[in-house]
Every structure is written in structure tokens, then in C-alpha cells.
């Protein structure tokens, strides 16, 4: 959530930056400034009325002590009027604050200056590519056919149990999943991230704090009886562990990692591009989250990008990095780098990680602050990234490592899963 004082001070710059998202935000920002002005004026009026009412109350007591009953009763009538006026002003203030909060919640983050303008994924900027795309043997299969051939994943059984988008991993498929999760967590903890095991459901305050609400309300599974939401990523519960905190300067940076299943409705997703593991309602992901001093957050973002690079190098999967354009940038992000692995059998790139800096956008919603070097309460910067999302990593391994003899296992994963090859 943007801060009102920054909107007031940097309105023209924000209008220009938000135009990268394809948004003409001038009227919205002006409306926010006007609503805040109404709120401030109303607060001033209310403070004046309350001050006058308190002054009269003291005078009334003194007048009664002096026996000046008539004057005291006259002032009591005035205080009654002031109470009615203060009640009306308080209602107006509450309405203005609620309206302002709603307007701020509906406004996306301001893109970083390096974000390219654009409308959709076609305008994303490729900034890095590594490893050659392998040449597969004739008759190579996409991962959903390989999963069936080698009895690794049962998509039909998942439909029976829960519905489409809920695959069941079995045998070596399940062991490979477990190996990837453990490997990712080990890499993250070795890099200094503290591992957490967090709830798979969050309350409304948590979903609102990290920006899933109101932006992605229709994409989250909502348990209405308990008013809880199934998490779309562990970023939500992990980041909300620090909601409302006032940290000490020497507590920063904070680096967290966690594995969770993730749940997304993916409403409106159809077609060949969502086959197999390409898009699911439930999937596994290992996440990294950082809370940083504002001066260090972009250096930390670069470090997160290098960390994910190193994992993909060890897996020896061909990948590229995209800097997302304004039109493809997530609601809460100031800057996002997407990692994509090449699916050789499908002849397409598959997103496997997003690494983002949210600057103060989430921290303002969360009221996550720290005492800076001058003792001032300052909003922290929050960052997160996938390290990594499993379904498409697994798809990439199955497709890129397939041979006529079976599916090889990346060398780095062999100690984790206990086998070097998947054969019939």
C-alpha cells in the first residue's frame, strides 16, 4: 500500500511510473489526496470541538462550586450541542478514513524505474540465459506422457479424489518430489535462510497484509465458515509473522525459507498450455522471504537472483531470466524477475520462479517497521522469491533428462532420491 504523504509529494512521478502498468492514475491519486485532505480537515474540526467541550466541562465544575448555577446550565447546553457536533464529525472522520483506506488498498505498487513499459508477457525483457537447450531423441514425450509411461504421476486418480489440477505422485515420482523439496530447503538454509514450517491457512488480515486481498480474492480458496483462506504461497504466512512488529535496526536483514503446498483456484485457465503439471490447483513450492533495510533491498534482490541461478546451474536445466514489464508486473511488486526453464518436449518456456522486491508496499499494509540509525520508526522493505516451485521444475527434469533408456536424475539430486535413473 502506498503512503499518502508520498503520493502528495511525488504525484506526477507516480502517475508516470504507474503508466508503465497501463494505468492512468492521475484521477485516482488526486482523489486520494482530496480524500486525505477531507480527513485531515475533519480531524482538525473534531479536535477543536473536543478541546472546547473539555474546556467548558472544567468551567462548568468551577461555576457550580461558585454557586453560579444559571451560567453553569447555559454552558451545559453548549456542551450538549458540542457532543452532538463531535459525534457527527466522528462519523464523517470514520467514513473518510474508510474511504481512503479502500482507495489505497485498490492502488497497485509503483514500478521501479528499471521496469520496462508494456502491456503483457510479450513485452517482458529477457536479461539472461544460461545452458544450451538439449536435443532430444526422436519420439521424445511431454512430461504428462512420461509420467504415465513410468508410473510417476496419476492425473486421473487425482481427478477421482479431488478434481482436475490435483495430481497424485507415486513411487519414484513421489520420491523425486520429496528429494527436490529437501534439496531446495538445504540450499536455502546453507545460504543463511532460517527454515520455518507455517500454517496452510491464513486469516483475512494476513491475506490483506501481503496484498492478496482485495487483488486476488477470486483466485483464493475461501473457507467461509471460519473466514480463513488457503495460502497461494508460503510468502503470505511467512511475511505475516512480522505483521505489526517494530524491529531493531540490528535485527535486519531477516531471511526466511519454508516449504508448503500452495492452493490456487486458477479460475479461467483452460487450453493445452495448462496440461499436466503446467498449471495446478495444488502444488508444492519452497519460498524465500527477506525483510530488509530500504538501503539494502536491491542488493538483496540481486543476491536472491544469484541464489536461484546457482540452484538451476546445479540441476543443469536450461533457463532464462525476464524482467517483467509494467503490464505483467504483480499488483504488489515494484520489480520482478521471472525465471523460466525450457521444456524441450513442449518447445516452450515455463515459469518456475518469481523473485520480487515490494519495497514498502507490503510493509505499510503490515505496519512492519524498524528503528533506523536515527531512532526513527521506518517502514522496512520486503522481498520474496520461489526457490523453487516444484511442478514445472519436475516437468523440466522429466522432459530434458529423458533418454531411450529412461529418465536420468540430475547428479545433484541422486543423494536425495537414492536412484540415478527412472526405468520401466
Q: Which residues are annotated as a binding site?
A: 233, 264-266, 287, 351-354, 384
HSE at residue 263, side-chain half, CA atoms within 13 A, is 15
Phi and psi, residue 198, nearest 5°? -120, 165
Binding site members for ATP? 264-266, 351-354
Q: Assess contact for 96 and 39: CB atoms under 8 A.
A: yes
Q: Rounded to the nearest 10 degrees, how much is the dihedral formed by the CA atoms of 142, 144, 147, 151? A: -130
Q: What is the DSSP letter of 123?
A: G
The residue written with cell numbers 537414492 in the block is 418
Q: What is the SS3 assignment for 170?
A: coil
CA distances from 256 to 89, 190, 194, 235, 241 (A): 45, 12, 5, 9, 10
CA distance 371 to 369: 7
HEC sequence for 93-104: HHHHHHHHHHHH
The residue written with cell numbers 495444488 in the block is 282
Q: Assess contact for 75 and 59: CB atoms under 8 A.
A: yes
Closest CA to 107 of 41, 38, 26: 26
CA 50 vs. chain centroid, Å, equals: 42
Q: Count each helix (H run) and each strand (E run) in the chain, helices first.
A: 13, 18
Binding site members for L-serine? 233, 264, 287, 384
Closest CA to 146 of 393, 401, 389, 416: 401
User: Do β-strands 335-343 and 348-359 pair in parallel, antiparallel, or remain unpaired?
Assistant: antiparallel
Closest CA to 263 of 328, 212, 196, 324: 212
Amino acid at each position: 500500500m502506498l503512503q499518502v504523504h508520498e503520493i502528495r509529494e511525488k504525484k506526477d512521478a507516480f502517475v508516470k511510473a504507474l503508466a508503465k502498468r497501463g494505468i492512468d492514475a492521475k484521477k485516482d491519486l488526486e482523489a486520494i489526496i482530496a480524500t486525505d485532505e477531507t480527513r485531515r480537515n475533519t480531524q482538525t474540526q473534531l479536535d477543536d470541538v473536543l478541546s472546547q467541550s473539555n474546556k467548558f466541562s472544567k468551567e462548568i465544575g468551577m461555576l457550580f462550586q461558585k454557586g453560579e448555577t444559571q451560567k453553569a446550565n447555559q454552558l451545559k447546553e453548549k456542551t450538549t450541542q458540542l457532543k452532538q457536533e463531535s459525534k457527527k464529525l466522528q462519523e464523517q472522520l470514520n467514513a473518510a478514513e474508510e474511504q481512503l483506506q479502500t482507495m489505497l488498498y485498490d492502488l497497485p505498487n509503483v514500478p521501479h524505474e528499471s521496469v520496462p513499459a508494456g502491456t503483457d508477457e510479450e513485452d517482458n525483457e529477457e536479461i539472461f540465459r544460461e545452458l544450451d537447450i538439449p536435443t532430444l531423441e526422436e519420439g521424445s514425450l511431454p512430461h504428462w506422457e512420461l509420467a504415465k509411461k513410468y508410473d510417476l504421476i496419476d492425473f486421473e486418480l487425482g481427478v477421482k479424489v479431488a478434481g482436475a489440477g490435483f495430481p497424485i505422485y507415486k513411487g519414484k515420482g513421489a520420491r523425486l518430489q520429496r528429494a527436490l523439496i529437501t534439496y531446495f530447503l538445504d540450499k536455502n538454509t546453507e545460504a543463511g535462510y532460517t527454515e520455518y514450517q507455517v500454517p496452510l491457512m491464513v486469516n483475512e488480515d494476513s491475506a490483506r497484509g501481503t496484498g492478496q486481498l482485495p487483488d486476488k480474492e477470486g483466485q483464493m480458496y475461501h473457507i467461509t465458515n471460519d473466514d480463513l483462506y488457503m495460502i497461494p504461497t508460503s510468502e503470505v504466512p511467512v511475511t505475516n509473522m512480522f505483521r505489526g512488529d517494530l524491529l531493531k535496526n540490528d535485527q535486519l536483514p531477516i531471511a526466511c525459507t519454508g516449504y508448503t503446498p500452495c492452493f490456487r483456484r486458477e479460475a479461467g485457465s483452460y487450453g493445452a498450455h495448462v496440461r499436466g503439471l503446467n498449471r495446478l490447483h495444488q502444488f508444492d513450492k519452497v519460498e524465500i522471504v527477506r525483510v530488509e533495510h530500504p538501503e539494502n533491498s536491491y542488493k538483496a534482490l540481486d543476491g536472491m537472483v544469484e541464489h536461484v541461478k546457482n540452484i538451476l546451474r546445479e540441476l543443469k536445466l536450461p533457463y532464462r531470466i525476464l524482467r517483467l514489464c509494467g503490464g505483467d508486473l504483480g499488483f504488489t511488486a515494484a520489480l520482478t524477475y521471472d525465471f523460466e526453464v525450457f521444456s524441450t518436449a513442449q518447445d516452450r518456456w515455463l515459469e518456475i520462479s518469481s523473485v520480487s522486491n515490494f519495497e514498502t508496499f507490503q510493509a505499510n499494509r503490515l505496519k512492519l517497521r524498524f528503528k533506523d540509525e536515527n531512532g526513527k520508526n521506518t517502514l522496512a522493505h520486503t522481498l520474496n522469491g520461489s526457490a523453487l516451485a516444484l511442478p514445472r521444475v519436475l516437468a523440466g527434469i522429466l522432459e530434458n533428462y529423458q533418454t531411450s533408456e529412461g529418465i536420468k536424475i540430475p547428479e545433484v539430486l541422486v543423494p536425495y532420491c537414492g536412484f540415478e535413473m527412472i526405468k520401466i
